[in-house]
């Protein structure tokens, strides 16, 4: 849950609220204007811990006074002597004066005889002529000069006549509202597009408008909270949203970390919350601007970004490309020959390239667009400008094609200029491809037919078979927190099929054993490899954990979560059947002297990022808000490409959309990964998983376990050791020696800092996982971490004490399930 970072500390000295400031009147520090229905208030405030005074507008009834606009954000007042009034020069200008009557801030001049300033119910402070209420006749309005928040009705964009540019920009910090480097707005160059910048550098490009949404933001869809519109003509270009229900406030916020988010007010929790499913801009690595360079498309392969040259293009710097530096992009394999005729190759379902060097004609068809591009030798590609009604309009590119991303849905077709000879070569290869596709389709149909036939036979036999100890149902009942019974459909495997697949649960097929019971490798009759978790009769976990895992993981689908294939409940058995992951767990690699050498820094970085995205999905993007409660190295499995998948959801709990934390008397999890508030008081939340993630990050960097860590100079655990090195400015000593020098020092130090931020003592100091993902992938400056949880030095072991030796040699792999919380 993102908590708005701006809170007001002000005192009111007037008992009578008003929404209007007339000529000759003033608003002094301690006095306020209040909108007609008291939704917004204007006055002086001091943000955070600052003692400086600012003139601003804030929500009056909700959000603890969430500030939405600041007038003098770059010119603070040093005391409480500030005053706002309308200039007596007869030009209708608002002026903010200090103790010496010096002008600290002013609105632009708008000559009128009867100027009136009014705070509207929309949160807009306007200057108008007398009683004129026509918005088009406002002489000045705060909505034209946003600070860090975009409210309903505000325009994000550029007035092409006056040059007025409306954008939102972050505060420097929670204590300083001065404009910082992070800016989100519309770039009118070429064909206008939404762009997120840090200074002059583009960090993210939402793309041009295609009639329905920004081309790079297909998640912007009609929803029950607000509508949106885009206008582009000879006078102005802008985007804005309008609330469907004014009782459900919503806004876009640029926080000091440069993390633009869409937030909605939650009445039940009395807090601002991310508006899922499109609360943020940057969703994955491919959203980083121009990650793959020119003429290349980025797609998310497993948990990492993969760059692919467009067909007919090759890497510009093959050696750098092989070393995973794709920023140089790709070049043509065959140069264009415009005089003798070029052609166009269609690339389907992509985020359209950067349009800063593009032209648009909304009145012609796609065929006419092709002809127009063909006649201009500088034209590199074309596409429909509007996707509504089958497509219309013409978008032309006259520069390298940059910042393309493969989209699974709502992508557009791009027609790329290609040399005729190159097109001929591509065409000659097509029949072979078609033949292969036909073979694959035929094979799939045959296999599908066999499976369906087998399924019918199986169901018929099962229906007519009498088996006393068979569960006989493909539905599992479970108890929700509200004592509400529901049913979950899940494939049920036959006990005999699982016994045959695992060679009757032979020891040679045993992969390991956890709190649930033993895990076996198996091969189904059709050749699919599986992993079978079999509930042990003596297990501390039972039906509750079994049904909990079936319920939760069956509803989750993400590349960084292990896939549950089905379960078996026959013969008093409780078994879970998963996809088989050949590299077993992260635990088997990072703590093993030999196998850890296979994990170079790029793989470790890939694993950290994958775990982070998996947790973000659990906490924010899944249909349920899931708290894992037992995240540790042995519960992170690795596939054949060393991509991480979070597993073991027996201890997990689902939260309601408005729920932020819970308390339990039954503490479950693993020592070494539990945060203090959970281990001691039984309190758990998403920040519990963040703490566990931080421990994992430090373990991956160091190659040592948190619990059982030993150092000759002190008796701290790994967290304490990392903290000491950090405050002594020696964090490099934490890096595992097996990495040698083959790592990016800045990346490793960033990961250490993120890890320490995640394991801070107080839950509210820890970042949420959406911030963690951005911290790991971005270049922004990070806050300094505070002391980690459990930062207490252990008693030194007594010489010869066996109990002490056991304490030092204990591992993280002790799962606690019956500890009474206070």
**Mean pLDDT within 36-55:** 95
- Selection from 192, 523, 237, 568 nearest residue 360 by Cα: 192
CB 681 within 8 A of CB 660: no
Closest to 547 (Cα-Cα) out of 524, 522, 513, 575: 575
pLDDT at 17: 57
In the structure, what pLDDT confidence band is assigned to residue 666 with cuts at 50, 70 and 90? low
User: Could you tell me if residue 152 is inside a domain?
Assistant: yes
Of 274, 299, 334, which closes a domain?
274
Q: Is 594 helix (H, G, I), strand (E, B) or coil?
A: coil
Distance CA 139, CA 117 (A): 10
238 and 292 both lie in a single domain: no
Q: For residue 512, give Cα distances in angstroms to 166, 584, 632.
A: 59, 9, 16
Tell whether 678 and 791 lie within a shared domain: yes
Regarding whether 167 and 111 lie in a shared domain, the answer is no
Confidence band for 707, pLDDT divided at 50, 70 and 90: confident
Closest CA to 159 of 123, 194, 186, 132: 186
Q: Which of 154-163, 347-356, 595-604 has the lowest mean pLDDT?
A: 595-604
| Residue 236, beta-bridge partner list | 159
Question: How many percent of the chain have pLDDT more than 90?
Answer: 44
Q: What is the pLDDT of residue 712?
A: 65
pLDDT value at 483 more than 70: no
> Count of residues for the chain?
822
Least confident window among 272-281, 517-526, 574-583: 272-281
Give φ, ψ of 14 to 5 degrees.
-115, 140
Residues marked active site are found at 630
Give yes or no: residues 633 and 734 share one domain.
yes
pLDDT confidence of residue 664? 62
For residue 362, pLDDT over 60 is answered with yes
Whether 600 and 573 map to the same domain: the answer is no
The answer to whether residue 325 scores a pLDDT higher than 60 is yes
Asked if residue 195 and residue 309 are part of one domain, the reply reads no
Q: How many angstroms separate the CA atoms of 359 and 366, rounded? A: 14
Q: What is the mean pLDDT of residues 442-469?
A: 57
Domain for residue 440, yes or no?
no
Q: Output the pLDDT for position 443.
A: 67
Specify the pairing of strand 485-489 against strand 475-479. Answer: antiparallel
Poorest-pLDDT segment among 158-167, 422-431, 443-452, 494-503: 443-452
Give the separation between CA 709 and CA 715, rounded to whole angstroms: 8
Q: What is the pLDDT of residue 455?
A: 63
* Cα dist from 500 to 379, 503, 509, 550, 564, whole Å: 62, 5, 12, 23, 19
pLDDT mean over 393-422: 92
pTM comes to 0.55
| Inside any domain, residue 279 | no
Q: What is the CATH number of the domain that holds 598?
A: 1.10.510.10
Query: In 10 A of CB 505, how many CB atoms?
Result: 16
Res. 78: pLDDT tops 90: yes
Digit-coded pLDDT (tens) for 87-140: 877 677 899 999 999 999 999 766 667 889 999 999 999 998 877 667 777 889
Query: Which residue did the predictor score with more confidence, 473 or 546?
Result: 546
The predicted model gives 570-583 an average pLDDT of: 86
Q: Please report, to the nearest 10 degrees, the dihedral formed by the alpha carbons of residues 175, 181, 183, 187 taken in order.
A: 160
pLDDT at 513 over 90: no
Last residue in a domain, options 524, 554, 579: 579
Contact 815, 630 (CB under 8 A): yes
pLDDT of residue 816: 42
Residue 155 has pLDDT above 50, yes or no: yes
Confidence of residue 492 (pLDDT cuts 50, 70, 90): confident
Beta partners for residue 557, in sequence order: none
The predicted-structure confidence for 10-28, as pLDDT tens digits, reads as follows: 333 333 458 999 988 999 9
Strand, coil or helix: 289: coil
CATH number for position 559: 3.30.200.20
Rounded to whole angstroms, the Cα distance separating 298 from 216 reads 12
Which residue reads 């339990």 in tokens?
Answer: 664
450 assigned to some structural domain = no
**Distance, CA of 731 to CA of 753 (rounded, Å):** 9
Question: Tokens 């910082």 label which residue?
Answer: 180
State how far the Cα of 626 lies from the Cα of 651, in Å rounded to an integer. Answer: 10
Give the residue, 592 or 352, on which the prediction is more confident: 352
Any idea what DSSP says for residue 64?
Answer: T
**pLDDT tier, 657 (very low <50, low <70, confident <90, very high otherwise):** low
806 in the same domain as 696:
yes
Chain centre to alpha carbon of residue 793: 36
* Residue 434, pLDDT score: 52
Q: What is the average per-residue pLDDT within 794-815?
A: 38
- For residue 793 the two structure tokens come to 């030095």
Is 479 found in the same domain as 335? no
**Residue-number span of the structural domain to which 519 is assigned:** 475-579
167 and 53 part of one domain: no
In this model, does residue 210 exceed pLDDT 90? yes
Please give the Cα distance from 524 to 262 (Å, whole number): 46
Q: Are 22 and 122 in contact (CB under 8 A)?
A: no
pLDDT of residue 739 exceeding 60, the answer is yes
Cβ burial, residue 485 (10 Å; 0-12/13-18/19+) = exposed
**What mean pLDDT is predicted for residues 55-60?**
96
Kindly state the DSSP code that residue 373 receives in the 8-state scheme: H
Assigned domain for 469 exists: no
Q: What is the CATH number of the domain that holds 214?
A: 2.90.10
268 shares a domain with 183 = yes
Report, as an integer, the average pLDDT of 45-58. 95
pLDDT at residue 625 in the model: 80
Residues 649, 780: one domain? yes
Does residue 564 form part of some domain?
A: yes
Which of 535, 560, 579 terminates a domain? The answer is: 579
Taking residues 693-718, report their average pLDDT.
85
Mean pLDDT of 545-572: 80
Distance, CA of 255 to CA of 4 (rounded, Å):
8
Q: Which has more pLDDT, 541 or 393? A: 393
* DSSP-based three-state secondary structure for 577: strand
What pLDDT score does 26 carry? 93
DSSP 3-state percent helix, strand, coil across the chain (nearest 5): 25, 30, 45
Considering just the CA atoms, what is the radius of gyration of the chain in Å?
31
Handedness of CA 461, 464, 468, 470 (dihedral sign): positive
Residues 186, 188: Cα–Cα separation, whole Å: 6
Residue 471: pLDDT over 50? no
Highest mean pLDDT among 298-307, 406-415, 428-437: 406-415
What pLDDT is attached to residue 365?
Answer: 93
Are residue 691 and residue 762 in the same domain, yes or no?
yes
Where residue 375 falls (left for φ over 0; alpha for ψ -120 to 50; beta otherwise) is alpha
Class of residue 433 by CB neighbours under 10 A (exposed 0-12, middle 13-18, buried 19+): exposed
The DSSP bridge pattern shows strands 404-406 and 296-301 to be parallel
Closest CA to 259 of 626, 782, 785, 813: 782
Mean per-residue pLDDT, 332-354? 91
* More confident: 590 or 551: 590
Lowest mean pLDDT among 97-101, 254-258, 793-797: 793-797
CA 644 from centre of chain: 17
Q: Which of 198-202, 396-400, 541-545, 775-779 has the lowest mean pLDDT?
A: 541-545
Please check whether residue 185 lies inside any domain of the structure.
yes
Domain count of the fold of the chain: 5
- Is residue 429 assigned to a domain? no
Mean pLDDT, the chain, rounded, equals 82
Task: Label residue 266 by pLDDT band (50, 70, 90).
Answer: confident
**Which pLDDT score, from 0 to 100, does residue 12 have?**
35
Q: What percent of the chain has pLDDT over 70?
A: 81
pLDDT tens column, 613-638:
999 989 887 777 888 888 999 999 99
Number of H helices, E strands in the chain: 13, 49
Phi, psi of 265, deg, nearest 5:
-75, 125
Task: Check residue 481 and give its pLDDT.
Answer: 35
Q: What average pLDDT score do residues 657-666 get? A: 60
Note the pLDDT of residue 239. 96
């Amino acid at each position: 849950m993102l908590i708005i970072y701006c809170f007001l500390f002000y005192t009111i000295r007037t008992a009578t609220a008003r929404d209007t400031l007339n000529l000759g009147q003033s608003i002094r520090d301690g006095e306020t204007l209040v909108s007609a229905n008291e939704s917004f208030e204007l006055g002086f405030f001091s943000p955070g811990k600052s003692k400086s005074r600012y003139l601003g507008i804030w929500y009056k009834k909700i959000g603890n006074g969430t500030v939405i606009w600041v007038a003098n954000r770059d010119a603070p007042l040093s005391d409480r002597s500030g005053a706002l009034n309308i200039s007596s020069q007869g030009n209708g200008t608002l002026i903010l004066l200090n103790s010496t009557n010096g002008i600290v801030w002013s609105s632009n001049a708008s000559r009128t005889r009867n100027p009136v300033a009014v705070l509207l119910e929309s949160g807009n402070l306007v200057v108008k002529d007398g009683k004129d209420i026509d918005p088009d006749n406002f002489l000045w309005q705060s909505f034209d000069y946003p600070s860090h928040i975009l409210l309903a009705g505000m325009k994000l964009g550029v007035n092409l006549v006056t040059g007025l540019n409306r954008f939102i920009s972050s505060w420097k910090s929670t204590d300083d509202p001065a404009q910082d480097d992070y800016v989100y707005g519309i770039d009118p160059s070429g064909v206008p597009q939404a762009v997120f910048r840090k200074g002059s550098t583009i960090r993210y490009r939402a793309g041009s408008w295609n009639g329905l949404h920004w081309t790079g933001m297909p998640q912007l869809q009609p929803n029950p909270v607000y509508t949106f519109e885009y206008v582009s003509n000879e006078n102005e270009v802008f985007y804005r949203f309008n609330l469907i229900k004014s009782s459900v406030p919503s806004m876009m916020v640029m926080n000091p970390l440069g993390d633009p988010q869409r937030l909605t007010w939650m009445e039940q929790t009395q807090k601002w919350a991310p508006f899922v499913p499109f609360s943020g801009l940057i969703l994955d690595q491919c959203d980083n601007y121009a990650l793959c360079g020119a003429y290349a498309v980025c797609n998310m392969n497993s948990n990492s970004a993969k760059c692919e040259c467009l067909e007919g293009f090759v890497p510009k710097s093959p050696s750098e490309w092989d070393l995973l530096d794709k920023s140089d992009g790709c070049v043509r394999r065959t140069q264009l020959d415009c005089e003798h005729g070029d052609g166009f190759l269609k690339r389907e379902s992509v985020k359209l390239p950067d349009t800063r060097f593009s032209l648009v004609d909304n009145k012609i068809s796609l065929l006419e667009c092709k002809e127009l591009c063909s006649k201009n030798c500088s034209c590199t590609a074309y596409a429909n400008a509007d996707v509504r009604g089958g497509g219309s309009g013409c978008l032309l590119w006259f520069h390298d094609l940059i910042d393309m991303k493969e989209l699974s849905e709502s992508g557009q077709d791009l027609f790329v200029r290609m040399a005729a000879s190159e097109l001929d070569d591509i065409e000659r290869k097509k029949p072979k491809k078609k033949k292969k596709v036909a073979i694959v389709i035929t094979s799939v149909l045959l296999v599908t037919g066999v499976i369906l036939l087998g399924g019918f036979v199986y169901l018929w036999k099962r229906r007519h078979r009498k088996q006393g100890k068979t569960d006989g149902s493909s539905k599992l009942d479970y108890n929700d927190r509200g004592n509400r019974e529901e049913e979950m459909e899940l494939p049920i495997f036959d006990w005999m099929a699982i016994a045959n697949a695992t060679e009757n649960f032979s020891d040679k097929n045993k992969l390991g054993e956890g709190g649930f019971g033993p895990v076996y490798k198996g091969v189904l009759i059709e050749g699919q490899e599986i992993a079978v978790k079999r509930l042990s009769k003596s297990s501390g976990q039972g039906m509750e954990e079994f049904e909990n895992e079936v319920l939760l993981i069956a509803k989750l689908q993400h590349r960084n979560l292990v896939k549950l294939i089905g379960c078996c409940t026959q013969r008093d058995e409780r078994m879970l059947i998963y996809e088989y992951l050949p590299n077993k767990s992260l635990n088997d690699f990072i703590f093993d002297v030999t196998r850890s050498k296979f994990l170079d820094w790029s793989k470790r970085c890939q694993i950290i990022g994958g775990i982070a995205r998996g947790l973000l999905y659990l906490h924010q993007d899944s249909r349920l808000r899931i708290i894992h409660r037992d995240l540790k190295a042995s519960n992170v499995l690795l596939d054949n490409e060393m991509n991480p998948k979070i597993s073991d959801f027996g201890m997990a709990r689902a939260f309601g959309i408005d729920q932020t934390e819970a308390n339990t008397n039954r503490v479950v999890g693993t020592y070494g990964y539990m945060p203090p508030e959970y281990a001691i008081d039984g309190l758990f939340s998403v920040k519990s998983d963040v703490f566990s993630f931080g421990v994992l990050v430090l373990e991956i960097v160091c190659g040592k376990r948190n619990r059982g860590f030993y150092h000759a100079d002190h008796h701290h655990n790994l967290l304490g050791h990392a903290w000491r090195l950090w405050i002594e400015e020696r964090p490099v000593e934490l890096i595992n020696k097996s990495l040698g020098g083959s790592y990016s020092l800045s990346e490793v130090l960033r990961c250490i800092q993120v890890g320490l931020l995640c394991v801070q003592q107080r839950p509210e100091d820890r970042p949420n996982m959406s911030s963690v993902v951005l911290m790991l992938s971005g270049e922004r400056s990070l806050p300094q971490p505070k002391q980690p949880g459990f930062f207490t030095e252990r008693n030194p072991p007594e010489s010869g004490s066996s109990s002490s030796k056991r304490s030092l040699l204990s591992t993280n792999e002790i799962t606690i399930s019956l500890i009474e919380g206070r």
